[in-house]
Structure 1
Amino acid sequence: MAKAARAAQAWRTYRDVTRPGSPGLGARIRALPRMIGAAMRGRYPGLGKGRLALLGLGVLYIVSPVDVVPDFLALIGVADDFGVFLWLTGSLLGESGRYVEWERERIRAVPS
């Protein structure tokens, strides 16, 4: 992902998290385990198993000592990890916000 695209995605994520009425950062982070569990059980339609696997691969890439571009190549080696980190963070925060809104809609739909 190009530097400009990473910066644009980071900006979109920031705007989404700070939008009035949108779930806040804390709510999104707390929703991550629920979202992942619901997606794995097939209960949350917004996150398919393929996309969940791709996010898992992103986590593995960040924590893995093996990189496409080795870290000893100064800034270039760290830039690919940072790009994956930005993509992963933006994807998880964006999807967890949609998940929180999906949960809210389900709660509203349940008759009292």
Structure 2
Amino acid sequence: MRKSNRAAAGAAAWQAVRHSARPGAPGLGERAAAVPRMLMSRLRGRYEGISISRMMMYVLAVAYVASPVDLVPELFVPVLGLADDVGVAVWLVTGLMGESERYLQWERRDGHVQGHVVG
């Protein structure tokens, strides 16, 4: 993805996340820090709140956004070429932030800390 596309996709994702914040909800930093724990907890079978197919969609989205190859190249269709990158980035970021918020609730509700049950 070209640098300008990454910047536009990042800005759109940031706006989507910033406007989705609710009072009392975990902050952006806390949610972002929870993503690796969430993925590892899911892979280890401790957390069932996210499906393997959803995780694979996130992996594919990361690969698509990071890839220099576009499904809709900007050269041929400039507006759609940028829109597909931005759309995938916004979907990825908002999806991961929502999933990580649910994961943080699960951690707190069940007393899990860093993959260990507090007892």
**CA root-mean-square deviation:** 2.2
After TM superposition, the score normalised by the length of structure 1 is 0.78
Partner of 1:83: 87
Percentage of identical aligned residues: 46
Deviation of the 1:71 alpha carbon: 2.7
The number of residue pairs the alignment matches comes to 101
Partner of 2:35: 32
Instruction: State the Cα deviation string for residues 24-58 of structure 1 (Å, max 9, x = none).
Output: 11110110110111111221111111110011011
Structure with greater helix percent = 1
Which AA in structure 2 matches 1:78? L
State how far apart, in whole Å, the 2-side matches of 1:29 and 1:104 are.
16
Where in structure 2 are the equivalents of 1:1-112 lying within 5 Å?
Answer: 13-16=17-20, 18-72=21-75, 73-107=77-111
CA contact (8 A) 1:58 1:84 kept: yes
State how far apart, in whole Å, the 2-side matches of 1:68 and 1:77 are.
8
Deviant stretches of 4+, over 3 Å: 13-16
State how far apart, in whole Å, the 2-side matches of 1:68 and 1:22 are.
35
Relative to 1, partners in 2 of residues 1:22 and 1:53: Cα closer, same or farther, differing over 3 Å? same
- Give unpaired runs (5+ residues) of structure 1: 1-6
After TM superposition, the score normalised by the length of structure 2 is 0.74
Partner of 1:4: none
State the secondary structure of the residue aligned to 1:71: coil
- Give unpaired runs (5+ residues) of structure 2: 1-11
State the secondary structure of the residue aligned to 2:69: coil
